[in-house]
């Protein structure tokens, strides 16, 4: 999943914007998701909490939660 602009040398390896672009691309989110620090920190906290809860669920509950989350996405 390399960024062709990064690989082609357009951006240096220490360029913060380039690194942000790489991370956003790897996660499948827009770069702007990281620019609002308060929202980014809240998202990180919630993601960590979600992973802790996920590991506490049974397999059948995980399937149910995944089905519900997918339903929320399809509703828009």
- Count how many domains the chain has: 2
Decide: pTM greater than 0.85: no
Residue 76 has pLDDT above 70, yes or no: no
Which structural domain range is residue 14 located in? Answer: 1-35
Mean pLDDT score, 24-42:
79
- Residue with structure tokens 């913060």? 16
Based on the fold, state whether residues 49 and 75 are members of the same structural domain. yes
Based on the fold, state whether residues 30 and 40 are members of the same structural domain. no
Based on the fold, state whether residues 65 and 49 are members of the same structural domain. yes
Distance CA 34, CA 20 (A): 8
Mean pLDDT score, 29-56:
83
The answer to whether 35 touches 23, Cβ cutoff 8 Å, is: no
Count of CA atoms in the C-beta half-sphere (13 A) of 19: 5
For 23, the token pair is 């991370």
Indicate the average pLDDT of the chain: 80
**CA–CA–CA angle 66, 69, 70 (5° rounding):** 85
Which are the contacts of 26, defined by CB distance < 8 A and separation ≥ 6?
Answer: 1
């Amino acid at each position: 999943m390399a960024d062709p602009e990064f690989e082609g040398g357009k951006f240096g390896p220490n360029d913060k914007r380039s690194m942000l672009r790489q991370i956003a691309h790897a996660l499948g989110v827009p770069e702007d998701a990281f620019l609002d620090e308060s929202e980014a920190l809240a998202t990180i906290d919630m993601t960590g909490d979600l992973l802790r809860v996920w590991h506490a669920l049974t397999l059948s509950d995980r399937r149910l939660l995944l089905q519900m989350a997918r339903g929320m996405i399809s509703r828009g």
